[in-house]
Chains A and B, each alone.
Chain A
């Protein structure tokens, strides 16, 4: 490019009148190694601009994604899975026995011991209950006695009446 043209553009440039395209022409011109010596100061400027433009932002930016409700649901699901895990072997996996004979020997022994202990307890209860019968018998007798006493009372009333009748004619 002719030096005249460059100088003309530079004048415009200094006055802030160049267009982007014209400034790019200037930049292209000053990117060369050989530049008219009187334009050295411009070359430094344009080289600086060119270098600075290459600087890049290299740091990472931590972008937080919006907190989703998915995490809440994941915890709910985890609890559900846990509970199912506990329940399934108990409800469906465990053996169910229909008679004592099916039980393993140890459990049968325990069953029999418990049964013995319970029958001992119940026989003792029965003893107590039979002695209670004697009490009941006694109370029945008492009732009978009480009835007889009432009869005696009525008898005495009747005799009193008779005695009264005998006394009244004397008056």
Chain B
């Protein structure tokens, strides 16, 4: 497999890998490093890649495991990931500017969710994976995934409503 072939192969999902990594690791730099490492790992195994039926699902599973490992080692080292760099979302409308805060709240609320729910929510609501695809990545049955997803969605909305009503947090 040549470099060009490889680039073509990973192009459709490298952003998804990055977004999942960012969802879990929060910091942009960390997520970039993780994505880089995952792509390099894939490249090193590029002979075997052809054997995988679903390279994207495989890569997402790799990303999930990689990031969870990293989080574990961070916790073990007692280091906290600093995250201050949310990308500028180019929302130009006045109304969107007003909402900017509340939109950012969503990401903060998601941060507080359990890892499993974060991953499922990310894959479903942002990447729009179907349940079978999610099942491959998180290794859960579709019913359990639906339950986790429902919990995550409800939690986010509850917290959003609380924030809006009481202005706390």
Residues of A with Cβ closer than 8 Å to B? 13-17, 20, 23-24, 33, 40-42, 44-45, 47-49, 51-57, 59, 61-65
Instruction: Give the residue of B87, B91, B161 whose beta carbon is less than 8 angstroms from that of A41.
Output: B161
Number of interface residues of B (CB under 8 A): 45
Q: How far is the CB of B118 from chain A (nearest CB, A)?
A: 12
- A45 x B36 contact (CB < 8 A): no
- In chain B, what residue has the closest Cβ to A48? B106
A51 to B15, CA, bound (A): 13
Q: Tell me which of A13, A47, A61, A64 has the highest count of chain B C-beta atoms within 10 A of its own C-beta.
A: A61
Q: Which residue of A lies closest to B154 (CB)?
A: A14
B residues less than 8 Å from A56 (CB atoms): 15, 18
Q: A41-B160, A59-B36 are in contact. List 9 more A-B contacts (CB 8 A).
A: A16-B147, A16-B153, A40-B164, A41-B164, A45-B156, A51-B103, A52-B126, A57-B17, A63-B39
Interface residues of chain B: helix, strand, loop or mixed (majority) = helix
Docked pose: A44 CA to B145 CA in angstroms? 23
- Contact residues in B for A63 (Cβ distance below 8 Å): 3, 6, 39-40, 43
How far is it, in angstroms, between the C-alpha of A57 and the C-alpha of B38 when the chains are bound?
A: 12
Nearest Cβ on chain B to A49's Cβ, whole angstroms: 5
Task: Collect the chain B residues with CB atoms within 8 Å of residue A40's CB.
Answer: 164
B83 to chain A, nearest CB (A): 14
Question: Does B35 reach chain A (CB closer than 8 Å)?
Answer: yes
Question: In the complex, what's the smallest C-beta–C-beta distance from B55 to chain A, in angstroms?
Answer: 16
A57 CA / B11 CA spacing, docked (Å): 10
Q: Is B66 an interface residue (CB 8 A)?
A: no
- In the complex, how many angstroms separate the beta carbon of A116 from the nearest chain B beta carbon? 75
Contacting pair B32 A59 (CB below 8 A)? yes
B151, chain A: closest CB distance, angstroms:
8
Identify which of B15, B18, B102, B125 contacts A44 (C-beta below 8 A). Answer: B102
In the complex, whether B157 has a CB less than 8 A from a CB of chain A is: yes
Q: Which residue of A lies closest to B156 (CB)?
A: A45
